[in-house]
Every structure is written in C-alpha cells, then in structure tokens.
Chain A
Amino acid sequence: MRLGEALRMVAQDAEMYADPQRALELARRRRRRRLAAGSATAAALVIAAVWAVHLLPFKASRLPASPRPVATSSGERASKRAYPARVELPSGAATPLPTDRGVGPAALIYSVGNRPLLVATTGAQYALPTPNLFDSGLIALSPDGRWLLDGPVLRDLTSNVTYDVPRGTAQWSPDARWLLIETSSGHQLVNTVSGRAIPVANAAAVLDNGQILVASNIQRTRATITITDAGSGGNPHTFTVDGSGILAADEGIAGRSGDGGFSLYQVWPYSTDGALFEVQGSTNLVLLDVSLTDGRILHRTVVPAEQPPYQFWAIAGMDSGKLVLRHQPPGNTTPSPGTTTPVPPYQLAVIDPSGGTPAVVCTIPAHSLVLARGSNRAL
C-alpha cells in the first residue's frame, strides 16, 4: 500500500468538526472585546491629557472585566456536537437538503405529518425529497451521522459525494465503514470509503473490520454464530450464544419466521468484540450483551417499563457504540378533545451496551416518527 493511499483511508475517519456559527460567535465576541479595550485606552488617554492639563487629581474608572470563555471537556463537546438539545418544527418550509455541498453529519431524521426533516448536528433542518421514506424502510443513517442511505443512493453528508448502491434494507458496522444491504437477491456489503459492493452470505450483522456475523441452528433462546471474512468466507470463527439460563420463560432472542423456523431479532454490534442481541417477550426492554470472542453473555441489559405493562422506551439505533433509545413520556401523550394541555416532547437517549441509566441527549416534537443514527427503522 502506498503512503498517500493509506493516509487517504485514515482521513476517511475524520468527522465534520468545522462549525462556522460557533467560530463566528467567538470571533465577534473577541472583536467586541478588542473594540471595548481600544475605546477604554482612548478614554484613558483623554482623561490623562485632561488631568495633565488641569492638574486635577481624579481617577479614571476601571473597565469591567471581560467574561472569560469557559472550557468544556471533550466528552461534553462530543455530546453537544452530536445532538442539538431541542429539535422543534420549523415555522416555515424547511430548506431542501442541498445536493451541491455538505451540511455536516446528521443527528437524526424525524417526520411529523409525512414531512421528513434531516436535523444536522448544528441544529439546522433540511427537508428530504421523498415523502414516504418512513414507509419504505429504505432510508438509513450511519452510526456517526455522516452517511445517509436513501434508496439506491448513499450520500456523504459532509460533502456532495454520492455512491450508487444496491437497493434494500441496510445495517451498519458500528464505525460506519461498512454497510450491509439485504436485497431481493441476497446480501451485499458496501465499503463506504470506496463505494464498492460485494455479494456476501446471508448475514445478521457486519463488524468494523468488515467481517460478517452469520447465524445458524437458531432456536428461541440460542443460536450458533459464525464470524467470517465477508467476501471469501475465510477465517471462520464459530461459537454458540445460549440465553436459556438467563432468559425468562416468555423471552427469546429469536422468533418464528415465515418458513416455520426461527430467525434472530435484531443484532446490534457495538465493537468487534461485542454485540447486543435484542430480546422479545418481556414487558421491560431487554438485550443480551454478548462477547463475540466466545459467545459468553456478559450482561443482561434491562431498561425497566415505567408503568408496567406499558413500556415507553424503544430501541431506536446505535450511535458510535452506544445504543440509542426513544422515550415517549407517559401520560398526556394524546390530548383529550377540548383541552389545551401541551403534549410533552419525545426524547432521544443513549445508553452503554452494559446498561446504566439512559442519558437524554435531545428532545423532538411529540408524535414524531424518528429515525436515529445506525438504524433503518423509524419509530
């Protein structure tokens, strides 16, 4: 591999860090401070001159101290960079998503009244051209928000680069480098750096290193998993995921498929070493955190139902190794006729694969359909 080529591959991992509005705000603030300091200096010179002329002993008043910018930690910057705190419907028609320039990574896509809007990490909103995207299931955002799959077109939102890709439902590797597309004629694996697609086996997920995860011998609570090189099928590594000892009687990692067998519910890899297996059959939101080295179940990740048997949390996507949840606050979600009680907004939250308390990152208008990062299904 040549050095220039290798550097270009590494550079593909860069995100859009440039925020013109933030730069302008700071530049304006510094300019105001300089102008104020200049005015103060001029005033002090005038006062000194007056004092010297009249020999009057008075003091020049001191300027108030300028506010100092407050530094934030990288983590705070990262979460602020990814999501605007509050998303609200624009008052007028939103600007169509431009095709001749980048808009930066997207935080999410949402739709109220069949008007899909892409929300950039800067908070800017752009109208998407197809009105029924949420019905088709063919639109997907990458886990880093950089790539937008819209039917057969994969768009880099940080530039105007597009690739033609096979049309189908898509899953991403956690680092967004690989896109696994299920088409009517089989699975294709797309490299987002080159745009090249290759046919692969019937896979459940794709990992950061381009290896695919294939399931076989699927039962309700267990499955055999083989991780293998995508194109060649080489370097197979097989293990069993067995949840029978940790799942309740009604719970399972797989459900009946049309052919009478079982198929896995969604599998969410979060690194090359681990994946979350969705569990159905519980009132709570349950996932199994599974080691992709040997199939061991590392955690049973649970988000309890707030008002059993009603669950207001739902899995929305995967953002850079963290699971994204949508929360529909309980109560007053449907206003009674004749009342003006405001409907609370929905929330997006992130949670570590091993569990913990969901951290709310963003609110979105109530009754929205939302498509989060790393997902192709709108909630």
Chain B
Amino acid sequence: MGRYEGFPEFVLARGPALCRTAYLLCGDHATAEDLVQSALVRTAERWPSVVAGGNPEGYVRRATINEHISRWRRFGRRERLVAELPDRPMASDDTADRLHLLTAIRNLAPRQRAVVVLRSYEDLSETETAAILGCSVGTVKRQTHDALARLRQLVPVAVDDASEVVR
C-alpha cells in the first residue's frame, strides 16, 4: 500500500458521513457521487501530507465543498431555480417534507447551501465554517442570514427556530 496506507480504511469509516454531507450540498445522487469521488481522488493524491495535517476528514470535507462551488461556477447556471415551490402537503407527511426541504436547499446559492449544511447539519461554529469555506466570519453570518431568509420563505415549517443556526 505504501504512500496510500490507511486510505481505504479511512474512506470506509468516514465515507458514509461524507456522503451525507455531499448529498445535502447538491441534492442528487449522481452529483453527490461525483463530488465525493473527486474529493477522494484529490485527497489520495496528497494522502501522506493530509495524514500529517492531522484532520483528513476536514480536508475531504473542504475538498468536497470547493468542488461543489467550482462545479456550480462551471455548470450551475444550467440548474433551474424557481421563485416558488409547487404546492405540496406539508404537515404530516415526512417524505413530502423531506422532498420539499431538499428542493428548497437546491434553490440556495452554493455558498449558502454550504453554510446551512455546515452550521445546521455538521454543527460547526461560525469560525470553523469560515475556516472551511476560506472566508471571513462576517461573510458566514451574512450568508447564514440570507439562506435562512430564503428557506423561511420556501419551507417555513423547517425553519421555525432560527436561533438553532444563528447562535
């Protein structure tokens, strides 16, 4: 195995969590697979130095988010954003709620999606989120505010407690 020692074990152990993050970022399986695999290839190429850095999972997560944002720059304008979501039942149907939320997240700009996922799903602080995204804490705050405002407009039932995110 040599320079790639420990890489397969790392992927098997942490892969599911990374896949879930990637799926939340893009909202479809094929793109999530592309994101994860691209990030893993980049990680494997630099595996000795990534391990020496002490946080391989953070490295892959950052690579995944960067890939997601750069893909959006290249291909994102092909995505169809809608001003309003189609009417769907909301209150009691979990599946409908999930689909509705997923659609709403896909209507956020890529950095807003990343902020929402890192802050609300990964439970990272503003400082940690800023470090991963390579931006200032103020930018994270502004993106969070804008993303929540958009989500409140699209799926109010899923964003009934803004303080959960803006801590």
Interface residues of A (CB under 8 A from B): 1-4, 6-24, 26-27, 30-31, 74, 77-78, 81, 101-104, 158-159, 175, 177, 208-210, 229
Q: What's the least CB distance linking B115 to chain A, in Å?
A: 12
Using Cβ atoms and an 8 Å threshold, which residues of chain B touch A177? 95
B37 to A101, Cβ gap below 8 A? no
Minimal Cβ-Cβ distance residue in B for A272: B95
> When the two chains form their complex, are residues A10 and B24 in contact, meaning their CB atoms are under 8 A apart?
yes
* A contact residues around B12 at 8 Å (CB): 18, 20, 101-104
- In whole angstroms, what is the CA distance A16 to B32 when docked? 10
A20 to B20, CA, bound (A): 16
Given contacts A14-B19, A18-B18, contact A31 B45 (CB under 8 A): yes
Interface pairs (14), CB distance under 8 Å: A2-B160, A2-B164, A3-B151, A10-B102, A15-B32, A16-B16, A18-B11, A19-B11, A19-B40, A20-B8, A20-B10, A27-B41, A101-B13, A209-B95
Question: Cβ of B33: which chain A residues have Cβ within 8 Å of it?
Answer: 15, 17, 77, 81
A367 CA to B86 CA in the complex, in Å?
Answer: 51
Separation in Å of the A123 CB from the closest CB of chain B?
A: 14
A15 and B19 contacting across the interface, CB-CB below 8 Å? yes
New A-B contacts (8) at CB < 8 Å, excluding given A158-B15, A208-B95: A2-B160, A13-B23, A17-B19, A18-B11, A20-B7, A20-B40, A24-B4, A26-B41
**Which chain A residues lie closer than 8 Å to B120 at the CB level?**
3-4, 7
**For the side of the interface on B, what is the size category?**
35 or more
Measured between beta carbons, the chain A residues less than 8 angstroms from B105 are 10
Q: In the complex the two chains form, is B94's CB within 8 Å of A210's CB?
A: yes
Considering the complex, which residues of chain B in the window 116-167 have a beta carbon less than 8 Å from any beta carbon of chain A? Answer: 116-117, 120-121, 123, 148, 151, 157-161, 164-165
**A9, closest chain B residue (CB):** B98
CB atoms of A23 and B30 under 8 A apart:
no
**Contact (Cβ within 8 A) A15 B8:** no
Q: With A and B bound together, what is the CA distance between A209 and B93 in angstroms? A: 7
